[in-house]
Structure 1
Amino acid sequence: MQYKFTVLDLGDDIDIKRLMREKSSHIEYIRWEEPFKFRYSEGMVYVYSFGAVVGINIPSKQFNSLLSELDEYVIGDVKHTSIETLEIFQGKDKDIEIHEDKIYLPKIDDGIIYITSFVLAQSVSLNRIEQKTNILIDEIEKFLSTKGKIAKGRKSLSLAMKILKTRHEILSDIMILDKPDLAWENELYDQLYQKLSRYYELSRRYKNVTTKLDHAFEVASVLLEIHSESKANFLEWMIILLFVVEIAMTLIEKIF
């Protein structure tokens, strides 16, 4: 028994409800970490609301056609990541083995397919988050290296707000790193999840992203403080100027 998984991240979010209305005769409630599943070509498709699409036993050409169809359900910008693949095989050993994007398992069932799909979806979505974070850090460094513009209120506030907004979006998406409920209920599923998580280095990549986000947040806080101080100084000078104008007008009235 053999299954080939092909996975890609389409963008920040996918409109699952709309997709279900147009791809299924009935709409069922699914939790956010659960995929919407439907048959396509020769295999199955798992679509996750956080942006990932997993094709199971779907040929490359058909998978590309599928992606074109799903692009219209993306909320926000469509940003295809590179396609990743993984194959699972049913072996004779009781242990789980992973070698060069191939997994050998003592058995393959719906739970195995679910866990494998979920980890792959986590990995490609984390890849998108990594790219987004790197772009944000580059923008911060470019702004900080611009001489004479750090204390300019509007630009610093605009960048600070962008940092905070992006941090919020990324932290929301990072919740995809939660362990699926199914892994808590079955020892084999839990072992598979742990091994795949280590294979795709989810924990290390997560820590790397959060470190960069913490740095971005610190910079955002400093920029907001600079803007606040600049605004306060401006108001103080405006008050002083008003006092000076008032005194000058009083003197003019008394003289003339």
Structure 2
Amino acid sequence: MRGMLVPRMLASVAAQTVRLSTRRPLAQSGFTAMRFMSTQTRSNIRRVGQEKDAGALQNLLKRVMEVDAGMTDMMPAPFTPHTYKCRAYCTAEEYQLSLLEKHLSSSSTFKVMPLITPDILHIQVDPSQGGGEMFVFSNGTFVAWGVQENCEQQFLQDCIRKLPGFEIHSIQAIETEDAEYVIDEDEATDMKGEVILLNPHIPSLTLSRISFSHGLARSAKLSVLESMLENYLSSTKHIPILMLQGKKIPLTRREILMKVGELLSFRQQLNLSAGESFLDTPDFYWARPELEEYYHKISRHLDVRPRIAILNKKLDYANELASILKEHLSEKHSLTLEWMIIILITVEVTFEAIHWVF
């Protein structure tokens, strides 16, 4: 309202200025009398009129400034919506969802909701524990929406870590991915900057959260693979230096095979984790194309594709190094066989020479 009232007052000031500037100083009949006045008298009359006009304009401006100052004191505080927290966890290579579903069937805190898709388990948190919901994916990740910190840790420790057989190839260094969200029925479901906007009606909160959860979960999973590759490269960074110095590579046959197997396991997780590839869109969106855009938006925000590109470049180097190790292993094995053959031939020649002499 302040933005409308102040321009109106300024327009009034302008109109008042025009009226004061165009006001005739005297009536038409007064011009005859002014002809007989001295120059000094006429100058005094003009000065008095100008001072009167300037005083009226100054009073009007003063009133505008007083109203503007009063409205400034009544300006409302800026709108800052309350945001909630969602967090994605990656704790294993894969999950056995059927075991968790059976385990939670008797839980009063975590309630398993009807299945939406076979590779996602939808869990509601009891309102007495703060409420919220979680989505557990078969690729070893789960995402909590609006769940209190103590409740998240309880679920992580009691339901994820301690459930026998649930985690396949568990990860010791758990990776997480955080985001903030707002629920607003006046806004369309979208992502603005760092905040996820959720409309509670179109589409439903559950479907919207699943779409964004897919992106958050994949980012957490990707963080695990990034850490694994960094550890692998750190453990082999001394090999090029030794080769440059012409020294022997201090790795046994068993250690070289373990390095190659570690790299193959990494490639498997990147391309075939829980039956899907990081480069592919999840099967969940084949029949729900309207939700696919939410998944792509959160993926772009988390730089998933650029991170995958960087990961592939590092992986190319690791593959080249693995090839060199395999060649070194093959050459070492061939050299061993050659020496064994030489020794056998030498022994055989020695025995023949002894037999021929004696």
Q: Distance in 1 between matches of 2:114 and 2:102?
A: 10
> How many corresponding residue pairs?
254
Q: Aligned residue for 1:119?
A: 215
Return the match for 2:121 from 36, 47, 55: 36
Structure 1 residues 1-256: aligned runs within 5 Å: 4-24=85-105, 34-41=119-126, 42-69=131-158, 70-72=160-162, 73-79=166-172, 80-82=174-176, 84-90=178-184, 92-94=186-188, 96-100=190-194, 102-105=195-198, 107-109=202-204, 110-146=206-242, 147-149=247-249, 153-173=253-273, 175-186=277-288, 188-256=290-358
TM-score by length of 2: 0.62
TM-score by length of 1: 0.85
Q: Distance in 2 between matches of 1:155 and 1:6?
A: 38
One-letter code aligned to 2:229? T
One-letter code aligned to 1:104? L
Q: Distance in 2 between matches of 1:27 and 1:252?
A: 86
Q: Percent identity?
A: 23
Identify the range of structure 1 (246-255 vs 137-146) with the bigger mean alpha-carbon deviation. Answer: 137-146
User: Contact conserved, 1:2 with 1:90, CA < 8 A, in 2?
Assistant: no
User: Following TM superposition, by how much is the alpha carbon of 1:165 offset from its aligned partner in structure 2, in angstroms?
Assistant: 3.2
Structure 2, unaligned stretches of length 5 or more? 1-81, 107-111
CA distance 1:28–1:148, change in 2 (3 Å): farther
User: Following TM superposition, by how much is the alpha carbon of 1:191 offset from its aligned partner in structure 2, in angstroms?
Assistant: 2.3
Looking at both structures, which has the greater relative contact order when contacts are Cα pairs under 8 Å and sequence separation is at least 6?
A: 1
CA distance 1:237–1:126, change in 2 (3 Å): same
Instruction: Compute the RMSD of aligned alpha carbons.
Output: 3.0
Structure 1, unaligned stretches of length 5 or more? none
Q: Distance in 2 between matches of 1:93 and 1:30?
A: 25
User: Following TM superposition, by how much is the alpha carbon of 1:184 offset from its aligned partner in structure 2, in angstroms?
Assistant: 4.3
Question: Aligned with 1:11: secondary structure?
Answer: strand
Question: Aligned with 2:338: secondary structure?
Answer: helix
CA distance 1:18–1:162, change in 2 (3 Å): same
One-letter code aligned to 1:192? Y
Residue deviations 1:204-255 (CA, integer Å, cap 9, x gap): 1111112222221221122111111221122122112211111111111222
CA distance 1:137–1:2, change in 2 (3 Å): same
